Amino acid sequence: MTSPAFKRVLLKLSGEALAAHQGFGVDQSRIHEIAGEIAEVHKLGVQIAIVVGGGNFFRGVAHQAKEMDRVSADHMGMLATVINGLALQDALEKQGVYTRVQSAIEMNQVAEPFIRRRAIRHLEKGRVVIFAGGTGNPYFSTDTAASLRAMEIKADAILKATKVDGIYDADPLKVDGARKFNQITYMDVLKLGLKVMDSTAISLCKDNNLPIVVFSLNERGNIRRVVLGERIGSLVSA
């Protein structure tokens, strides 16, 4: 297949994906690999928006934040996503892909403010739009930000790139014999308490019938395969 199955997608990347094996910060070789894969998909004519997490720098619910005020910790996590967004923008532009970073927290010297119509216009002009700063509100994860932004830009699907090849009933890296779901409903994800995305994000997608494809980022070419409609990973739908 060479014709994309989706016209417009939102790709959700974790901050840890950019850190690779070093665990903290941004691994330059890894971020350029990811940017290369995104550039390949972009050449297919697919409109791509990205939400990137900040866990490689700081996470509001992490162990090191447990003594902090939750609002302050979440604001630090949002700022970490801006750092990652700028790093990803640099890597993509080195691939010849025009990008814009839009932040939910205004910081006009480094990123555009999030304006929905402007974001859609950038996508229509063939630019990759990176959404940083989460939703701009504490107590909401970047998963929720991804769901919200995907619906605002009318994306066809959320592509959630993870370190495992789909959704399992237990962590396959820790539990032998964990069962994989090739397809699962939103309600079953919520009932079984599966750690696909947080419950707020899943509920938002359920209410708006937005499909989620969960797949491994560790195998090169997987983003392209998902966009072309190959059945890899796990699909969450109604």
Whether residue 165 lies inside any domain: the answer is yes
Residue 117 burial by Cβ neighbours in a 10 Å radius (0-12, 13-18, 19+): exposed
Calpha distance 134→45 (Å, rounded): 26
Q: Which two tokens stand for residue 39?
A: 């550039």
Per-residue tokens: 183: 């397809």
Amino acid identity for residue 129 in this structure: V
- Residue pair 48/11 in contact (Cβ under 8 Å)? The answer is yes
Higher pLDDT, 195 or 123: 123
**Residue 83 domain-assigned?**
yes
Residue 2 lies in a domain: no
Q: What is the mean pLDDT of residues 34-49?
A: 97
Calculate what percentage of the chain has a pLDDT beyond 70.
Answer: 100
Range of the domain at 169: 8-237
Q: Mean pLDDT score of the chain, rounded to an integer?
A: 94
Which three-class secondary structure state does DSSP give residue 133?
A: coil
The bridge status of strand 157-162 relative to strand 234-237 is unpaired
Q: Is residue 1 part of a domain?
A: no
How many residues belong to the chain? Answer: 238
128 belongs to a structural domain: yes
Of 44, 43, 64, the residue nearest 55 (C-alpha): 64
Q: Is 3 domain-assigned?
A: no
Residue 185's CATH number: 3.40.1160.10
Contact 48, 128 (CB under 8 A): yes
Number of domains in the chain: 1
Tens-digit pLDDT profile for residues 154-200: 999 999 999 999 999 988 888 888 999 999 999 999 999 998 899 99
State the helix-helix crossing angle for 142-152 and 116-124, rounded to 10 degrees. 70
CB 227 within 8 A of CB 215: no
Question: What confidence tier does 1 reach under pLDDT thresholds 50, 70, 90?
Answer: low
Q: What is the pLDDT of residue 205?
A: 97
Q: Span 97-110, mean pLDDT? A: 97
